[in-house]
Amino acid sequence: MLKPAQVLVTLVSLLLAFSGHYCSNAASPLQVGFYQGKCGANADVEEIVAGAVKAHFASDPTITAALLRLHFHDCFLNGCDASILLDGDDSEKTADTNIGLRGFDFIDAVKETLEATCPGVVSCADIIALATRDAVALAGGPMYKAETGRRDGNVSRAELVDENIPPPDISVAESIQLFQSKGVDHVDMTYLLGAHTVGVANCSFFQYRLYDFNGTGQPDPTMSPDLVTSLRSRCPKDATFENAANLDQNRTSIFTVDNSYYNQLKMHRGVLQIDQELTSHPNTTGIVDIAAESTTDFQNLFSSAMVNLGAVEVLTGSQGEIRTFCRAVNAKN
């Protein structure tokens, strides 16, 4: 016998499948396996990337969170063009919002290996996308069909970060609009936020919820009192943010890409304001329920959402360039 909830999950999954969320985006200019046969007779680009991610993950499983966030912040400003990797006095990575971004050295190492094997072939933007996919799978998440064929951009400006990368207190309504402006709908948005099933947030991004929320002298009423207590002990009132907290408050799955984030939200244990509001906004609450209920639903729809994220405003064909070194645009000759 199917429980009513299971019937609902099945029906909604089917509906979503037919409305195109289940399949990869047919309009994407990218393709699966773009590098096949392009890196000499004996080398396989995706195998090289996968090997590097696997070796790194074995000693540092936090690489999954680092790469997921790097991929998101890359794609939401100038499209997925590796602009986030560029060094420079006013490049994107210097903006306050981006200070905590990690994984740059890892991407450099993968790029170095690829350049030694087939120089000038693989874009830095595709390295981020492929490495993210592999790291998600290693963390117990789905092995989705990541598309490739991106080229690297040559512009990276810190001043554009605030209008493109959402702050933790953005409302769900505003966030839906922002994602829509990138061609990512509210269903994909809700599954992409499921990336907060791994990784940490600096106390500075949620402390305002713990002591004097919105001038009330009280914590955010949508946060469970237990969580308020435990986050207060990690993030003391007058401290200077030496600490961070797990975004997924289920202790047993902090390194696992699973649907426990949504179950935590239903228990009012979302760390960021945007996380918790997904359970109360009318356009996302039902999606949270389904994702929390069904691992299969989460895996399928997180996968298609990641593929759609990876296609945002990409450069392809003769646009942009293939950088030699991910931190700098190629020298002109």
Ligand X SMILES: *[C@@H]1O[C@H](CO)[C@@H](O)[C@H](O)[C@H]1NC(C)=O
Annotated binding site: 74, 79, 81, 83, 92, 166, 196-197, 248, 258
Query: Cβ closer to ligand HEM: 39 or 158?
Result: 158
Binding of ligand X by 333 (CB under 6 A): no
Binding of ligand HEM by 70 (CB under 6 A): no
216 token code pair = 């009330």
Query: Cβ closer to ligand X: 34 or 208?
Result: 208
Query: Cβ closer to ligand X: 64 or 253?
Result: 253
Please compute, for residue 150, the number of CA atoms within 13 A of its CA located in the half-sphere on the CB side. Answer: 30
Give the one entry of ligand X, ligand HEM, none that residue 218 binds, where binding means its C-beta sits below a cut-off of 5 to 8 angstroms depending on kind: none
When binding is defined by CB under 6 A, the residue of 55, 58, 143, 173 that contacts ligand X is: 173
Q: Which residue in 56, 71, 73, 186 is the catalytic one?
A: 73
- Collapsing DSSP states into helix, strand and coil, what is residue 205? helix
Query: Cβ closer to ligand HEM: 310 or 320?
Result: 310
281 is catalytic: no
Binding of ligand X by 94 (CB under 6 A): no
Give the one entry of ligand HEM, ligand X, none that residue 250 binds, where binding means its C-beta sits below a cut-off of 5 to 8 angstroms depending on kind: ligand X
Give the one entry of ligand HEM, ligand X, none that residue 199 binds, where binding means its C-beta sits below a cut-off of 5 to 8 angstroms depending on kind: ligand HEM
Residues of this chain, 33-62, that bind ligand HEM according to CB under 6 A: none
When binding is defined by CB under 6 A, the residue of 250, 285, 316, 324 that contacts ligand X is: 250
Instruction: List residues bridging with 321 in a β-sheet.
Output: 152
- Phi, psi angle pair for 325, to nearest 5°: -130, 125
Which contiguous run of DSSP H or E holds residue 295? helix 295-309
The secondary structure of 100-152, three-state, reads: CCCCHHHHHHHHHHHHHHCCCCCCHHHHHHHHHHHHHHHCCCCCCCCEECCCE
In the chain, the amino acid numbered 46 is: E
The pairing of beta strand 200-202 with beta strand 147-148: unpaired
The answer to whether the Cα torsion of 71, 77, 81, 82 is positive or negative is negative
Q: How far is CA 280 from CA 56, 96, 108, 176, 207, in A?
A: 38, 29, 41, 14, 21
Binding of ligand X by 279 (CB under 6 A): no
Binding mask 233-272 for ligand HEM (x = CB under 6 A): -----------x--x------------------------x
Residues designated catalytic:
73
